[in-house]
Structures are given as structure tokens and as C-alpha cells.
Amino acid sequence: MFINSKISNSIAIDCTRREISSRARLPLAITGLLLTAQAQAFLPTPLSIVTTGELAPSSQTAVAINPQTPIASALSQNDSSSDNSVSANSNNNNNNDATLVQNAEAEQLLMTWRQQVQADNLAQHTTWRRLLYFLDDKKSLFAQGESKSLVDNKNFFLSANGQQDSGAELDAMLVALTKEVTLSAAKKNSNSKIPTVSNNSVLCRFPARVQWLTEQLPIDNSRLQAKCPALDNWMATLAPEQLSVMFAQEYLDNPLSAFAHTLLRIDSKTSAADSNQIHHAYALNDTVDGDPDDSFVIYAIKSMTGRYNNKIEIDPYPKKLAKYLQDDERDAWTYQLALTPAEVQQVMSHVWETKELSLPYYFTTDNCASEILRLIDVVRPKKHLLSQLPYAVVPSDVVQLLADEKLLANTRYTPADNTLRQAQLNDAKQSRKQLSYRNTGQDTFNDIKSAQINPASSISADGQSLLPITIAVADNNPLDRQSLQNGHIGVGQRGDNRYIDVGLRAGYHDSLDRPTGFPQFFNLEGLAATLRLYDTDDRDNAQQPSSVVLQNFTLIRGRSFNPVNSAKKGKTWGVSIEATRVNDGSQQDGTDHLVGSMTYETGKSWAFGTPRAQTGEMPPQLCYALATGATQAGRGINKGVRVGAGVNAGCRYQINNQLRAQAELQLPYWYHGGSDEPDVRGHYWQPVTTLGLQYDIDKKQALRLNASYDWQDRVDANDDIQLSYRRYF
């Protein structure tokens, strides 16, 4: 077949001399130029080879694109092999001409996009790199801003070099989008309906990346409309319209939840309009994918060192909320995020891209709370939220950071079941008091039994909605709490020796700290150290200690109080692992020594006093009695080790909102083992009394008085008193 012309010019098309017209010569000449190898020198071709084979695991649909081959050639191959509706008859000139036009258009699109990418340096754009898990501004104890993606999964990238080179991955996306635009145009020409594409299409696998690129480049989004069965069904099920952070308060009875927990609430239009309609909402939870057969110690170690992977769970919100409110009985606070519907959609599109990834889980740095910050950073690139908490990401700090960055729209309090039962107990006691009846222990016992028989819950009986709140809001909103870290400097005297203490605590909260914003009677400390600097001017004092000593290093110390006369369930117990200085009472004039110490306590506690009106809070005062077992080891004490058992009993008293006091009697009986030396005791009682008093200057400052007296007569110094200034930061 040939085209006749009155002009005697010709061109070889099928190895036969053909005559062509002047009208046809110009477009064919231009098309031929674009398809020559020489023309490719003028196009910004990527340095690395870009393959689209990774787009589809099936070898039948994969098309390799060589950098020395025009993109039009690869597209033409794909068209002829996978889309018969576009090229039904290879001998039809009209179809061939249409394909040439499409390929020429694809070349022009790709060249335009590449030029804009280079001009705007989009390959290094913060959002693009975050979409690929390049956390450039994330520093931690385990990763100091590595210049490669954290994802080690080839299916997450289109380019073979995508994990190391965000530019190569961006160029691979441009090539893939060019193919999608061309194929979409061809399909629409043959069918006016929106085409259905494979779930392996780049449009279906990486919707967040595609959306971001359409916002940055002159891409006609209407040409990328496609039906993605799996993605569309997932989005239709969740119907994301609004996102909120749900904060479940600290829970010491489950050590892995001791620092609280956060998850994302995904609201549809229905639950966004009425937050009580929780059956229209879902929960997105980032958690550890641990081995339930591992012991607690192994589980904890692996969780903290990245030996487990993370796991993204998406469950109906009522199911997840019930676990915290009813099973664990933890109050919950929900904070709506100030994100636009478009940002919500983009966050969820990114979740779709990443939900199946296996990434290391670090209990302190890459956890449930850090994932929320990372997702928000994707749509708010200027915030740099994750980098503001580089070494420890604690749920309450995340909530506070979001508030500081003006990212919280509103707040909702949801009381746990035990909080509602406690409100019933408080009402019953108040009613008897108004009638001048005396509240007895039997009355309290009967009230507790009645509350258990007639349970109250914030969730409706069918589990579909939240019920109206009938009690006052508790004083445990984490936005109101003081900072978890603190430092202190104090002056004191131990026996005849004066000293200065300097200390630092990484977290969390002890029984004398300001209680607002925390669960009642919450007591958990970790990674705290104190140095003591003694005045060494008295050279005649033989018992004078060294000038600088490590007074204490606490790995963890905590107590869980569940008063028996309250609505709370569970036991009262405590544990501590620390290095501390102790007086050895086995030898005459025994001095203090640094020892490693492990202690476990279990017993009962009681709450008393008058709780705040109309709340589900327990009475503010607390007393406790704990059976104690301890082991201490160190070179300075007799035989290097001692074991002890005894009783710790004390009371904590909330004098007013700014002043608290605590007194305790420790009554351990220590055993070192037998000894042939007449002046050495192998076992003995060593009672110690302590007193603490703290006055809050404001939310960030406090004064604290500590005093102790060791009743053992064989120690070099019985008394120790100190006044310190504490700063929370």
C-alpha cells in the first residue's frame, strides 16, 4: 500500500519505492526523527536502566525498556501484545498512524515531566522521599539518618536501585505513568467507560505516589482514572473522611502497655458527623508482631532491639475500643486531627502502600506513636514531627507535640468501665453522707458487689455506639501533664557529711510528682541516675566518703496500686531493678556501698478521703502494705551478696493541688550467710523510715524534701536529709 502524490518525491516504507504527497511528508519526517536513536541524545534519559517488569510479576505483561530504546517503541510493543482493541489489525494504516501519534505524545509527556522534575529537584523533595521511607531527618540510637530507604523489599520499588536512589525511583514512576496515560487513552478511545486495570498497575499499587506527582507535575489526572478492584474495595470499606488519635492511658498491669498506647481512628462521613456512631469507624493500630511463645523477658528484649517486625492492624473500631475500656479498663482520650479530607485520603492511600511491609519494631523509637507522626509528616512535610522526638517516642509526648503544632481540632473523653463503677461507689457514699449515715467497710463491700452485678460501660450493649457521658471529666488528660523528663539539684547531709546531689530522670512519674494528667497513683520511673558530690574538707574524718560517688542508677522502678476498696481490679504490686548505695548492717560501723538490687513487692492498698464530685476518680489518699523480697550484690557488702524479705508499709497524702507527702516504713530482714567472725552478723533486721514532701511551683518546677533514718546501729550514718529543686522538661 502506498500514498500517491503529484510531486515526484518518494520514501521507502516496506522496502519498495513509494510516492508520497507533500502534505504527508512533514509529519512522517518529524515522527521518524523522534524514533531515531540520535534523537534520544536530546532527551534526559535516566542513568540507570529503568524496567517495568517489576510492575507485573507475570512475564506475559512485563515490558523491558532499554535506555537506548525510545519509550514509544516499548509502548508500541505493549500495545500490540496486551491491548488488541487498540491494534486489532496490524496491517491497518489508520491504527498504525494512531499508535504513532500516541507514542509521539508519550515521548513529549515524558520529556516535559523529566524537565520539570529536574527543574524543581523533585527527586529530593521531602514528601517524595518520605513516601519511599527515606527518613532523612529521623535520628535515633539505632539509625542516624541513613541515606537509604528503610524498606528492604523489592516489591516496594519500581527501580532496581530505588532503595538507594530516590531519583531512580521517581524516573521509573514517570515511565510507568507515561505507559498508563497512553494505555488509558487507547482504552477510552475504544470504550467510553473508565477502564479496569490490573491490581499490579502502578495506579493501584502506589496511589499516594501517583497523587503527589499529579499535584507537582502537569499531569492530567483525568487520564489516570482507572478502576482498581482491590484498592477500591478497601477504600470503600473504610470510607475515610476524618482521622483522630485515640490515647489509652498507661496500664502497669501489662508491662508492654505501661507507657500508654495510641492508634488512629478512621471515621467515615457518618461517624465523623456523629462521633458516637463508632460502628461506622475503624481503628488503625501499629503494633509489634511478636512471638507469643517467647517468655516475657525475651519478648521485651526483642521488642526493644528490633528483633520483631511491626504489624499494621485495621479492625472495626468498637472491637478495639472495647479492649481498652472493658478488658484493660483504661480511660481513653480521642483527639481529632486537623487534617483536610484530601490529606486524610492521601494518608490512607499511603497506608495502602505500606500496610504489608515488614519493618523492625523498636519499643522506644519505632512504635505505635511514631507511626502516627510519620503518616502526618507525609502530608505536612514542613512540620518534621518525627524528628522532634529523636530518641524516645512516648504516646503522651506525641499527643502533646500534636497539640503544640496546632494539629488537634477537638478532644473527647471516654471513661473506662471501672471509672463508671467508681462513680457509682462515690455517689452511694455521698448519698449516705448526706443522710448522716456512717460509711462502713461493709457498705463499701456491698457497693462494689452491686456495681459488679450491674455493670456500666461507655459502649452500648450491642457494641455499636458510645453512650452519653454522665460523669465529670477525669483529671488525667495527657495534655495537662508535666513533662516526663526531669533534672534535679539538691543539697543535703548524711550523718556528718554534707553533699550536693545532681540527678537526671528520663521518665516517667513517681508518687510525689504532680498527678494531673496521669492515672491516679501512677508510679513508674526509668533510666534515672544521681551523682553525689561530698564536701571533703574534713581530712581528719576517717569515715569520710569519696568526693564523687554514683548514688543511684535506676533501670526501672514502679508500683501498680489497685485499692481493694475501689472499683479497680487487679493486685497491688511493685518491682525495681537498680544500682543503689546501701548501708551494710552486718559489720560494726559499716559504710554504704554501691550494689545491684532487684526487688519485688506484692500486697494490698486502700484509698480514702473524698473524691472530686461527680467524677469516677478514687479518693485521693492512699495507704499500702507490701510483702517484699530482694536480692542485692556488690563487692563492698559482707560476702558480696545478701537476700532479704520483709514488709514495706506507707501512706501517700494529697494535701492540696500543689502539695503532697509520703511516709514509708521499710522492714527488711537480711541474710548474708553464716560467719565465724565474732563481730560479723550473718542475718539481721534493718528498719528504715523515709519521708518525702513535694511542693509544685508550677507545671515545670518543684521543690522536694527527702529524709530517711536507718535504725540499724551498725552503720556509719543513720540519717540523711536533702532539699532539692526539680525541673521538668
What does the pLDDT read at residue 565? 94
The mean pLDDT of 641-663, rounded to a whole number, is 97
Compute and round to an integer the Cα radius of gyration of the chain: 35
Region 87-103 average pLDDT? 51
275-289, 588-602, 651-665: least confidently modelled range: 588-602
pLDDT tens by residue, 269-283: 999 999 999 999 999
Closest to 422 measured CA to CA, from 572, 252, 569: 569
| pLDDT value, residue 191 | 57
Instruction: Give the E-state strand segments of 324-436 in sequence order.
Output: 332-337, 360-361, 408-414
DSSP 573-632: EEEEEEEEEEE-TTSTTBPEEEEEEEEEEEEEEEEES-PPTTS-PPPSEEEEEEEEEEEE
Burial-class residue 540 by CB neighbours within 10 Å (0-12, 13-18, 19+): exposed
pLDDT, position 678:
76
Q: Which of 240-254, 296-310, 565-579 has the lowest mean pLDDT?
A: 296-310
Task: Yes or no: say if 53 and 63 are a contact pair by the CB < 8 Å rule.
Answer: yes
Mean pLDDT value of segment 408-418:
97
Phi, psi (rounded to 5 degrees) for 130: -70, -35
Higher-pLDDT residue of 232 and 38 is 232
pLDDT-derived band at 241, boundaries 50, 70, 90: very high
Residue that the C-alpha cell 532491639 belongs to: 305
pLDDT at 135: 81
pLDDT of residue 54: 35
Q: Are 643 and 670 in contact (CB under 8 A)?
A: yes
Q: Kindly report which listed range (2-6, 104-108, 366-370) carries the lowest average pLDDT score.
A: 2-6
Give 165's contacts (C-beta < 8 A, 6+ positions apart). Answer: 48, 159
pLDDT number for residue 31: 43
Looking at per-residue pLDDT, the higher value among 131 and 297 belongs to: 131
Structure confidence at residue 192 (pLDDT): 55
**What pLDDT, on a 0 to 100 scale, did the predictor assign at position 29?**
43
Tens digit of pLDDT for each residue in 190-208? 555 666 767 889 999 999 9
pLDDT at 24 exceeding the cut of 70 = no
Q: Which of 260, 217, 265, 261 is nearest to 240 (CA)?
A: 265
Task: Specify the range with the lowest mean pLDDT, choosing from 144-153, 412-421, 561-570, 574-583.
Answer: 144-153
Q: What is the pLDDT of residue 551?
A: 96
Over 70: is that where the pLDDT of 90 sits?
A: no
Interatomic CA distance for residues 591 and 635, integer angstroms? 12
Least confident of 103-107, 184-188, 439-443, 646-650: 184-188
Question: Counting Cβ atoms within 10 Å, is residue 278 exposed (0-12), middle (13-18) or buried (19+)?
Answer: buried
Share of the chain above pLDDT 90, in %: 64
- Give the per-residue pLDDT at 370: 93
Residue 150, pLDDT score: 92
Output the pLDDT for position 138.
58
- pLDDT at position 455: 82
Contact 74, 51 (CB under 8 A): no
Question: Is it the case that residue 411 has pLDDT exceeding 50?
Answer: yes
pLDDT of 703 reads 98
pLDDT at 506: 94
pLDDT for residue 96: 53
Q: pTM for the complete prediction?
A: 0.84
**Which pLDDT value is given to residue 233?**
96
Angle between helix 341-354 and 229-238 (nearest 10) = 130
Percent of the chain, pLDDT > 70? 81
For position 653, what pLDDT does the model report? 97
3-state helix, strand, coil in the chain (%, to 5): 30, 30, 40
- Mean pLDDT across the stretch 49-78? 37
- Predicted confidence at residue 75, as pLDDT, reads 44
Nearest alpha carbon to residue 160 among 172, 149, 151, 150:
172
**Position with higher pLDDT, 300 vs 576:** 576
The residue-averaged pLDDT of 94-109 equals: 67
Please determine, for residue 561, whether its predicted confidence score (pLDDT) is greater than 80: yes
Cis peptide before 508, with omega less than 30 degrees from 0?
A: yes
- The one-letter amino acid code at 121 reads N
Alpha-carbon distance 627 to 644, whole Å?
11
Q: How confident is the model at residue 425 (pLDDT cuts 50, 70, 90)?
A: very high
Nearest to 523 by CA among 397, 660, 423: 660
Residue 485: pLDDT band by 50, 70, 90 thresholds? very high
Supply the mean pLDDT for the chain.
84
- In this structure, what C-alpha cell is assigned to residue 30? 518529524
What pLDDT band is residue 87 in, cutting at 50, 70 and 90?
A: very low
Backbone angles phi, psi at 308, to 5 degrees: -105, 155
